Structure 1
Amino acid sequence: MNMLIFIIAGLLVHCVFLASIFDIYFTSPLVHGMTPQRTPLPPPAKRLVLFVADGLRADALYELEDNGTSQAPFLRSIIEYKGSWGISHTRVPTESRPGHVALIAGFYEDVSAVAKGWKENPVEFDSVFNESKYTWSWGSPDILPMFAKGASGDHVYTYCYKAENEDFGAEDATKLDTWVFDHVKNFFQAARSNQTLFSKVNEEKVVLFLHLLGIDTNGHAHRPNSREYKNNIRKVDEGIKEIVLMLEDFYGNDGKTAFILTSDHGMTDWGSHGAGHPSETLTPLIGWGAGVNYPQKVTSQFFKDEFLKVWKLENWKRLDVNQADIAPLIASLIGVPFPLNSVGVLPLDYLNSSAHFKAESMFTNAVQILEQFKVKMTQKKETTLSFLFTPFQLLSDTEQINILRKARSYLHQEKYHEVVSLCKTLISLALEGLSYYHTYDRLFLGISVVMGFVGWTSYVILLIVKTHTNLTKSTQDNKASTVLLLYGFAAIGVLIAFLLLIQTCPWMYYVYCLLPVPVWYAVVKEFRIIQDLVPLLLAFPLGQSIGFLVIGTLGIEILVFSFFYRSTLTVGLIAFAGWPFITRLWAQAKAPTMSWTLLCLLLAVFPLMPVVGREPNISLVTMAGLLILLISSFSLTSLCKSKNKYVPKKDLTVHLFQMLSIALSTYVVNSTHSSLHHKKGLPLINQIISWTTLASSLLAPLLSSTFFFQRLLSIILSLMSTYLLLSTGYEALFPLVLSGLMFAWIYMEKEALQHYGDSLKPKLAVLDFSYTIDITHFRQLHLDDIRRSFFFVFFIVTAFFGTGNIASVNSFDPASIYCFLTVFNPFIMGGLLVWKIVIPFVLVSCAFEAIQVTTQLSSKSLFLIVLVISDIMALHFFFLVKDYGSWLDIGTSISHYVLVMAFTIFIMLLSGLAQLLTTKRIEPWGRAKRHSM
């Protein structure tokens, strides 16, 4: 098969495998066509004010200072004298959009929102804002518009400040909150003299939403334990107090205003969020005003955590809820229909109303969730063959009717406690049934994907054996049997397509179910190769077979375990350090062996270092910059002293320019963080230098010659200048040690060629990446090449997890991009973070490209082995995906699969980037040369 066609086919197949996880585990939970449900009794409140303090941790609000005073005295007085309080438990990912959707719409966002940056509505959804008579909202342009765009009609009004105000480097981020408070005051001041507006704000079913982003911004910039974060909490407390007093005065203390304060997510001690740490998932909830319960004194209460004693709140009843429960609470308080897709359960303990109202509200809640269940069941029944359809047994049509009839009967008999109990049972069953139908197709989709996985991996192995080894005899296919095989598999494909068609399945189901057909056709078509392989495998000594199997399994398991425990990489690197001694390579290459061993042990330290939660240490970044300058100066001096005729003068100019860039990057990092520390913002000249360095980082290596040492040195210097700008601590040293190990690896692999004869050992000084090797010089694969490929995969995994893990990807430190920008921009920030992650990958890939050239192997052969190893890992993670347990466990397991699948696809693209960086050259003062491998 042509290599280009194979890569395109491989990319398509792996994109399908990657997409499958979203259709299996991350499909939208939303259904449409339900009837709105509202409580028939008059509500206790005419209006509700929702304060969302973005990024506010529960402990940061509730804990007392050393002198016994509260960070938020007004809200503390509400807890003790006027309202109810508790903790709102969020789900992963702890990000702003999913948090606000849960609060206001009552359901947990599906991951498809990632594709639109969690700003636009990927699907239309109902919310309490949409159901209200009028909603006015003030705050961030990242949050408010999505609820206005999702609303029907023109009754949701938004007032947003400019996006550039969200500046992590700003002198005072509390201005984001004071802007909101000031504009709310001005709004109601204007309402006094505007009769139209005055009549609107005095209507029933009104929501006022104040989104307060200052705490989140200060938390990112200064950490939650900082003076700035705590001062912002005091500012918010003061602002809320002023708004409450202003509204009570405006409405004449009519007692019809309800207030709720909560947060969309918390924040870790190191100023990030996105994962499932308790500091991110525990947010405060305080309610008071019309319809909300007064403080309930208790003598004792039990929770698994010990926060109550720490917060000195053990005598006030703590009422915990799930974040989605807040939406039905808002709907119940102001008497609007519950959001159609809400899965929240009304927290009755927060309501200060009659038992009748509570029972009616709970009944409405149950019917609203049951409506979703019925629509979901109908949809699944209509798209499944009757003899294949298995209904949810615990909530049959008869059971639904019986429960509803009994609940209505209890209402008429005024047995309100029984109504509440029965409705909670119905809600529990309906939610379980929703999950059942939501995951109904998971089993057969999973089987289809696994069949495709196994088939593809088998085909790649057969391709390696057929084209890159001498294990099989050259035989031609029997045309008659091939045609018969083709018709047979075509018939199977038609049958599968027909079954999917009559069930009106989504078009992606066709892709997942039909993909195994051509893949397994390609495998079965190579039957003669399989015939040749079987006797060879059977003739192989049993002891050696078991040994290879154990070593291979252990290697794969080390890679898999490293996704859960980074320290596993340390074990692997220590084992690698002993490789030359086990294979006796040290006897003929003592200097490279010492370098290899030392650098392996140095690199083994990094996975033991903390990932996140560390304070910036710019002195380590400076040390890394100085070390790079020292090493590169020594290398260039050595080259010049050796009088190597293969070192063009232009190369020296390029290297000197790159060293200047390293020096500038080191200066810019120090200057920027010093400026931000003194709250002077990001200097413009620093920003210009940073973006210029980034833009030139891929261009500069192409200006140097394609000789082995010069080109690799140029790539390292160029990429390190950008990496320094994106570093805040010890991670700046990581690519430096990794690069040194890659050079040692190349030299060690050159020495390892003794097994195939000294004639194959190249002289690295004259090795030119752009030199086209005659295909007749390519050797066939040996068992040692499997080790080379495994080393590459291991180093790629080390490049990713050496300084990070899943949590550090989900919740990165904004301080790492301060040299480029401080104004919040998720796409640019995300792009810079991704490039920081990619840089070590590029270094490893370029080294692997050099090894392929030095060992005289076609890039295709080693690449195919790498593909097999990574696909086996991906299949392993596919079986480890969870849909039970904590949300952190579920999210992590899915993240692992997505990561390793993306890694497999990425390797294909990375191979092309490495070839570009190593083989191409730009000559601005002369005619450009085109090289090929």
Structure 2
Amino acid sequence: MLLFFTLGLLVHFVFFASIFDIYFTSPLVHGMTPHFTPLPPPARRLVLFVADGLRADALYELDESGNSRAPFIRKIITHEGSWGVSHTRVPTESRPGHVALIAGFYEDVSAVAKGWKENPVEFDSLFNESKYTWSWGSPDILPMFAKGASGDHIYTHSYDAKREDFGAHDATKLDSWVFDNVKDFFHAARNNQSLFSKINEEKIVFFLHLLGLDTNGHAHRPSSRDYKDNIKKVDDGVKEIVSMFKQFYGNDGKTTFIFTSDHGMTDWGFHGAGHPSETLTPLITWGAGIKYPQKVSAQQFDDEFLKEWKLENWKRQDVNQADIAPLMASLIGVPFPLNSVGILPVDYLNNTDLFKAESMFTNAVQILEQFKVKMTQKKEVTLPFLFTPFKLLSDSKQLDILRKARSCIKQKKFDEVVSLCKELIDLALKGLSYYHTYDRFFLGISVVTGFVGWISYASLLIIKSHSNLTRGVSIEIKKSSHLLPCSFVAIGVLIAFFLLIQACPWTYYVYCLLPVPIWYAVLREFQVIQDLVTSLLSFPLSHFVGHLLVFTLGIEVLVLSFFYRYMLTAGLIAFAGWPFLTQLWTQAKITSLSWTFFSLLLAAFPLMPVVGRKPDISLVMGAGLLLLLLSLFVVTSLMKRRSSFIKEDLWVHGLQMLNTVLSMYVVYSTHSSLLKKQGLPLINQIVSWATLASSLVVPLLSSPVIFQRLFSILLSLMSTYLLLSTGYEALFPLVLSCLMFVWIYMEQETLQHSGVSYKQKLTSIQFSYNADITQFRQLYLDDIRRAFFLVFFLVTAFFGTGNIASINSFDLASVYCFLTVFSPFMMGALMMWKILIPFVLVMCAFEAVQLTTQLSSKSLFLLVLIISDTMALHFFFLVKDYGSWLDIGTSISHYVIVMSMTIFLVFLNGLAQLLTTTKLSLRGKHKSHLI
């Protein structure tokens, strides 16, 4: 059986990895020729301001007094330049946003998975194409455009990462540091001849990355006074820098200024998904080559923003975020970034129609180059008779459009040139997508074939090893035993040869060859299939259809819960009525009522808001008090019992209750300290980390009796969970655990009802790593329900208070008891542990269910595996490569989540066994397990 689980784990890793090869491969290609507009550019230098985390509405709207928070930028909009909204794509994070702005392409997950701070993939950028680039700002952003660049012409000036403290008194200092250092830089340049000559060259870029707004938004929310005052601080800084540039360069009119943001921010202070507050960012441009403000009587936009902003009379020109890169390249006359997919927004340009037409033509040729390289790469590794070219953009079509565009330039039909170039760009981008996803269907069929085979084999293994069906191998199979393996070997050789002559990557061999041994294993169990069919034929058709419908409905509820959390509420309400549909109500009324009560109580959580909630420390304190009251009740009950474990358990529980009180104090004092902008107290930080470190050790000191051990685990993990909570979610593990305790009692009752005589009290059954295999029984139909309950509770633990499919469901404030200095990996790890705590509680309860129902963990695990794999296969078919980027990302993340759950179920099961069966003794020897 160990071999099966090992192979199963490997198979699931393959299925999990397949989604990255199919959907997360990098779209980048290399080998293109740089292209730039042949006419003189309007600007010699460009200044790019990126206010990290600035929402469009926060900048453009007026305050309560009817005044702008950014008067200088407002004056630019109405008197000097052009403005609009830059639409970002998911994920709305700093790195992908800056890549889109400066390199002109939307970074895929494959790049983010390889590294965050540095440049994990080779891509061209505006900075690389410039003669010189100087940048100031965050150490998380600046290095990725310098590393991998050709030459050493990109200079970075960044502050210490420790400055990025969400608990700092004044985060605007991050922006002040940038503005002050830029001023010092130009002051020093007056006395440095080498530097002075460099900054007077043409084709140069100055990049100012302003992180204060992002930091204040995370720490205090965008509606806070801190965030709004920071906008004024940025506006003042931009005004000073613009004035300094004009003085330094003698107001030569050759400087272009661009002010924008990488992403916005939700009302609750986070970003990463596709909410308009995250995807709508400001874009203001002015200076050399930029159109002056245009007054209009009507606009093409239907939203209410223009009226709210009082900007309805000034022409708004929206762009996609990647469009800003070709705009900047055109303005200073450098080649368009080779990997850019942005379309030049010609309406922003204040230049001749010839310049606009030539720039647009260059843009089209640059994107067409990527299409040609992509097509050539795919053609070289595909057999000629199997290659299907992109029909909408044939070689003749390309030449025809380019010839027409060049002819129109000569005839001065510049509007037609722009139209033709946009048509060519649109076709080239569609062609890029076509070749990027060329192998997707082929790989998808291979993975699905393997998936179905694996589910079939796992099902047959359950029937063969854990049911009462007749087992054995038929004579016919034995006689032809040599034919079956030879046939599958031949199929494998043919597939490998087919992949070899097409020079496919090694991963293709894994996906395409994996189904071969899986289906061989399925067909080897022909006798089991025969027995199953015979058994089903003897089973009443109505009963079979009824059970199948219930199972299918359950799977659909689980699948729909990933899209609509209230489906979990519907499921829990159905669970609440379960005792009344069986004889459990007559057997155990108090237990049944408890089950119904806690099921309905837990059903309320999925109806509560996932995101947008405000911190409410009183709810965290309330959860802590309820935990203490429950602890007092349990300790009192233990003291009434006479057991050799009483003293040991009492001091362990007493220590955990003290830890709960400390956690409540740390949460309250940390929240108060941060509100006063006094930062995170060191003693609070020490206590928090000590609590986290001890949470997995202290329960091991308690007795291995089911009730005491599970309650000890709850107390320890809840102390950590309180430290990671900001509101109502602190109550969730407590209610979930109460339901889990009742579930264990309920399963004992159902087992007794099934006729199994073995029944002990939970106050006497002990967790034991070396379980007696003779106590295990065969599977009943009711065990499918037990496995389904486990999967349902795991999904509820996952989505009960948050939604990991959208990372902005989680509040950074939840980790402030541990650290406030920005550290994405450490913060991510803490939030991941917060997510896992309810999982651990469910898995520990499931360990008790397996023990009390005398069921082999292997058989139940196989049932859970089949249910989760059926869900994963469902989500595999729901993966989209069309529609909005949010829809695409969500569909992919659902598959990844279910596959991760399947893989980590093994890890969680091991952790649960460790927590429930291991016994530590401070006296240096194990205590007796006898009652």
1:881 equivalent to 2:883? Answer: no
Aligned equivalent of 2:402: 404
Alignment match of 2:366 (pick from 341, 365, 368): 368
Alignment match of 2:825 (pick from 824, 827, 833): 827
1:806/1:892 contact within 8 Å kept: no
> Quick one: distance in 2 between partners of 1:297 and 1:723?
56
CA distance change for structure 1 residues 676 and 800 in 2, over 3 Å: closer, same or farther? same
> Quick one: distance in 2 between partners of 1:450 and 1:297?
57
Alignment of 1:191-206 (within 5 A): 191-206=189-204
SS in structure 1 at match of 2:896: helix
Aligned equivalent of 1:539: 538
1:567 equivalent to 2:566? Answer: yes
Aligned equivalent of 2:133: 135
Farther-moved stretch of structure 1 (704-713 vs 334-343): 704-713
SS in structure 2 at match of 1:314: coil
> Quick one: distance in 1 between partners of 2:244 and 2:753?
85
SS in structure 2 at match of 1:193: coil
Aligned equivalent of 2:850: 852
1:639/1:647 contact within 8 Å kept: no
SS in structure 1 at match of 2:121: coil
Alignment match of 2:446 (pick from 445, 448, 452): 448
Alignment match of 2:388 (pick from 383, 387, 390): 390
Farther-moved stretch of structure 1 (458-467 vs 500-509): 500-509
Aligned equivalent of 1:724: 722
1:861 equivalent to 2:852? Answer: no
Aligned equivalent of 1:335: 333
> Quick one: distance in 1 between partners of 2:805 and 2:391?
39
SS in structure 1 at match of 2:516: helix
Map Cα deviations across residues 293-351 of structure 1 (whole Å, 9 max, x no partner). 11111110121311111111111110000000000000000000000000000000010
Alignment match of 1:472 (pick from 470, 473, 476): 470
Alignment of 1:489-500 (within 5 A): 489-500=488-499
Aligned equivalent of 1:629: 628
Aligned equivalent of 2:316: 318
SS in structure 2 at match of 1:760: coil
Letter in 1 for 2:602: L
Deviation at 1:115, TM superposition (A): 2.1
Deviation at 1:411, TM superposition (A): 1.8
Farther-moved stretch of structure 1 (704-713 vs 361-370): 704-713
2:44/2:203 contact within 8 Å kept: yes
1:177 equivalent to 2:175? Answer: yes
Map Cα deviations across residues 526-557 of structure 1 (whole Å, 9 max, x no partner). 11110111121122211111111110111001
Farther-moved stretch of structure 1 (56-65 vs 907-916): 907-916
Aligned equivalent of 1:259: 257
Deviation at 1:137, TM superposition (A): 0.2
Deviation at 1:24, TM superposition (A): 1.1
Deviation at 1:511, TM superposition (A): 1.0
2:26/2:111 contact within 8 Å kept: no
1:366/1:427 contact within 8 Å kept: yes
SS in structure 2 at match of 1:482: coil
Map Cα deviations across residues 784-815 of structure 1 (whole Å, 9 max, x no partner). 00000000000000001110124653452110
1:156 equivalent to 2:154? Answer: yes
> Quick one: distance in 2 between partners of 1:41 and 1:249?
28
SS in structure 2 at match of 1:431: helix
Aligned equivalent of 2:748: 750
Farther-moved stretch of structure 1 (921-930 vs 750-759): 921-930
Letter in 1 for 2:36: R
Aligned equivalent of 1:611: 610
> Quick one: distance in 1 between partners of 2:144 and 2:417?
36
Alignment match of 2:303 (pick from 302, 305, 315): 305
2:805/2:893 contact within 8 Å kept: no
Deviation at 1:763, TM superposition (A): 2.6
Letter in 1 for 2:578: W
1:612/1:808 contact within 8 Å kept: no
2:96/2:106 contact within 8 Å kept: yes
Q: Which runs of 5+ in 1 are unaligned?
A: none
Map Cα deviations across residues 435-469 of structure 1 (whole Å, 9 max, x no partner). 10011001011101100110000000000000000
Deviation at 1:25, TM superposition (A): 1.2
Deviation at 1:121, TM superposition (A): 1.7
Farther-moved stretch of structure 1 (297-306 vs 328-337): 297-306
SS in structure 1 at match of 2:493: helix
Q: How many residues align?
A: 928
Alignment match of 1:668 (pick from 652, 666, 669): 666
SS in structure 2 at match of 1:269: coil
> Quick one: distance in 1 between partners of 2:650 and 2:326?
69
Deviation at 1:647, TM superposition (A): 2.5
Farther-moved stretch of structure 1 (349-358 vs 118-127): 118-127
Aligned equivalent of 1:640: 639
SS in structure 1 at match of 2:763: helix
CA distance change for structure 1 residues 518 and 810 in 2, over 3 Å: closer, same or farther? farther
Deviation at 1:377, TM superposition (A): 0.2
Map Cα deviations across residues 559-610 of structure 1 (whole Å, 9 max, x no partner). 0111111111111111101111101201111111111111011101111111
Alignment of 1:341-380 (within 5 A): 341-380=339-378
Alignment match of 1:904 (pick from 902, 910, 913): 902
Alignment of 1:466-865 (within 5 A): 466-475=464-473, 478-643=477-642, 645-757=643-755, 759-770=757-768, 772-806=770-804, 809-865=807-863
Aligned equivalent of 1:417: 415
Deviation at 1:648, TM superposition (A): 4.2
Letter in 2 for 1:552: F
Farther-moved stretch of structure 1 (654-663 vs 189-198): 654-663
Map Cα deviations across residues 833-885 of structure 1 (whole Å, 9 max, x no partner). 00000000000000000000000011001110000000000011111111111
2:273/2:807 contact within 8 Å kept: no
Farther-moved stretch of structure 1 (196-205 vs 402-411): 402-411
Deviation at 1:475, TM superposition (A): 3.6
CA distance change for structure 1 residues 930 and 331 in 2, over 3 Å: closer, same or farther? farther
> Quick one: distance in 1 between partners of 2:315 and 2:470?
76
1:920/1:930 contact within 8 Å kept: no
Deviation at 1:928, TM superposition (A): 5.2
CA distance change for structure 1 residues 779 and 758 in 2, over 3 Å: closer, same or farther? closer
> Quick one: distance in 1 between partners of 2:908 and 2:589?
32
Deviation at 1:174, TM superposition (A): 0.2
Letter in 2 for 1:760: Y
Aligned equivalent of 1:233: 231
Q: Which runs of 5+ in 2 are unaligned?
A: none
Map Cα deviations across residues 211-257 of structure 1 (whole Å, 9 max, x no partner). 00000000000100110000000000000000000000000000000
2:798/2:804 contact within 8 Å kept: no
Deviation at 1:168, TM superposition (A): 0.4
Deviation at 1:701, TM superposition (A): 1.1
SS in structure 2 at match of 1:91: coil
Letter in 1 for 2:852: T
Deviation at 1:930, TM superposition (A): 12
Deviation at 1:415, TM superposition (A): 2.0
CA distance change for structure 1 residues 10 and 929 in 2, over 3 Å: closer, same or farther? farther
Deviation at 1:524, TM superposition (A): 0.8
Letter in 2 for 1:122: P
Aligned equivalent of 2:10: 12
> Quick one: distance in 1 between partners of 2:483 and 2:20?
36
1:921/1:930 contact within 8 Å kept: no
Farther-moved stretch of structure 1 (536-545 vs 147-156): 536-545
1:646/1:707 contact within 8 Å kept: no
> Quick one: distance in 1 between partners of 2:742 and 2:648?
26
TM-score with structure 1 setting the length: 0.98
Map Cα deviations across residues 381-412 of structure 1 (whole Å, 9 max, x no partner). 00111111000011111111121122222222
Aligned equivalent of 2:911: 913
SS in structure 2 at match of 1:137: strand
1:362/1:420 contact within 8 Å kept: yes
CA distance change for structure 1 residues 807 and 317 in 2, over 3 Å: closer, same or farther? farther
> Quick one: distance in 2 between partners of 1:96 and 1:472?
61
Deviation at 1:924, TM superposition (A): 3.1
Alignment of 1:58-97 (within 5 A): 58-97=56-95
Farther-moved stretch of structure 1 (170-179 vs 107-116): 107-116
> Quick one: distance in 2 between partners of 1:396 and 1:895?
35
Letter in 2 for 1:749: E
Letter in 2 for 1:889: D
Deviation at 1:897, TM superposition (A): 0.9
> Quick one: distance in 1 between partners of 2:471 and 2:6?
28
> Quick one: distance in 2 between partners of 1:408 and 1:114?
40
> Quick one: distance in 1 between partners of 2:820 and 2:806?
19
